Structure formats: structure tokens, C-alpha cells
Amino acid sequence: MTKLEVINLTVEVDGKRILNNVNLTVESGEVVAIMGPNGSGKTTLFLTIAGHPRYRVVGGDIRLDGESIINLYPEERVQRGVLLAMQNPTPVPEVRLSTLITAMMNKKLGRHITDPPTPQVLTELTKLTAELGLKPEHLSRGVHAGFSGGESKRAEVLQLLMFKPKVALLDEPDSGLDVDGIAVIGRSIARLAKEGAAVLLTTHHAEILHYVRPTRVIVMHRGSVVHNGGEEVVRTIESMGYERFFREVLGIS
């Protein structure tokens, strides 16, 4: 059973306080949805959990299965099972998507990263690529190079499904997707949880949560967690908007 704990997490970026005493937990098989307006700290939270060096922890802790990971490099956190699917991933045209995924899987399996993929990995990669609506030629292209927004989202989720992380962080996986894309990504996230991942995702919309049912919904505002609830929170925010929700429900101006 995997458990990720964020405990009184306070974070600064370039000397500016961005997160203030954030607390949350997520365990294997759970999906915790994090909502909040732009600038509320959702992406900062994910990048901090993933170990981005620009995000400096000045208070609190991040624990995976009871052990602090705040002093681990990003690649060490990946090997511990923490994987981030970014909202706007940076293109890496020099590295083929298939090469990246093969290297990830070889590292996880204890092989040399430049070894060819095992037959099992190749079979799974081919199958998942088709299921996500990507084409074989996407695997031969540079990572996110010339990908549409929807293709990039699918490629990020492909990496998660292949790697099978203990903790999956998905930063607005539904942004910029059409109805069909939201359905594909939503079902894939539900699959990750069913296979035992502890899933954290950020979203502004309710559509994706029609396909993946959140265990809890956390609302952030100005770098702090201001509300915890169930699916009803999503519907309330969708009908009221953030400003009215903060003012009329939470009494925050």
C-alpha cells in the first residue's frame, strides 16, 4: 500500500512564498482532485513533489511510505515511483518518444538504459499507443515535437501507463482536449488508480471526473488548501464559479 503525505508544506520560488502549510494525503487506488483558480498553487505543488530544483521547500515535508523525499533529486523520486505528467511538457526533438519510454522501462527493470526493449515492453507499448489514439509514427518522433496539445496529453499518459508509478501526478490532463480526448484520458486515469497508483490530478472542469471518480476534492486558494470535500464540490464550483464559491460558501473575499 502506497501512501504520499504532504505535511505543512511551505514553498518559495525566487524568494517569493507560493505555498503555505499545505497538507494532503493520497493512498493506493485513490484519486484526489485538486481544484482552484489560476495562480492558486496547484502546479507549484506538483512540481515541488516531483523535485523541481527551482521550488525551495522552506517548511514541512513530503513523505512517501513514511520516508521523506524532499532531499532526493527528481530522478531519484521517479525511481521511487513518483511520476509527473505536465500540463505543458517541453518538447525534446532530439529524443524519440520510444527511446525515452524504453530507457524509463529499462531503468525500472534494472537493465542498461540503452538496451533494446524487452518483447513484453514492446508489446505493451504497441497496445497502449493504439488504445490512447496515438499512431506508431508518434513513437518515432521527438518527444512532444510537433505534437498537438491532445497528442502531448496522450503521450504523457502513455508514459504513466507504461511505467505504472506508485504516485501519478497529472497537471490539468484535460486542458485543451475535445470530448473524445477527455474520455480517453479520463478512462486511463481511472485505470491507473485501479492498478494501484495513488493519483493526484488538477483540473478546472467536471467533464474528466465523469470518467474518473475522485475519492476527495481539495480546493486551493492563494497557495493554501481552503476546503476538502467530495464530488459535490466539483458540481458546486461548476455552477457558482470560484469567486462566488469562495465568497458565499467559504466566506473568503
Report the C-alpha gap between 10 and 107 in whole angstroms.
32
Closest CA to 181 of 173, 191, 171: 173
Percent of the chain with pLDDT over 70: 100
Residue 204 scores a pLDDT above 90: no
Q: Taking the model in full, what pTM does it have? A: 0.95
Chain segment 4-61, per-residue pLDDT in tens: 999 999 999 999 999 999 999 999 999 999 999 999 999 999 999 999 999 999 999 9
Which of these, 140, 40, 157, lies nearest to 100 by C-alpha position? 140
Residue bearing the bigger pLDDT, 1 or 67: 67
Q: List Cα–Cα distances, 154 to 34, 133, 144, 158, in angstroms.
A: 20, 8, 10, 6
In order of their start, the domains of the chain are 3-90+165-249 (3.40.50.300)
* Residue 176, φ and ψ in degrees, nearest 5: 80, 10
Give the tens place of pLDDT for each residue, 143-188: 999 999 899 999 999 999 999 999 999 999 988 888 999 999 999 9
The residue-averaged pLDDT of 72-81 equals 96
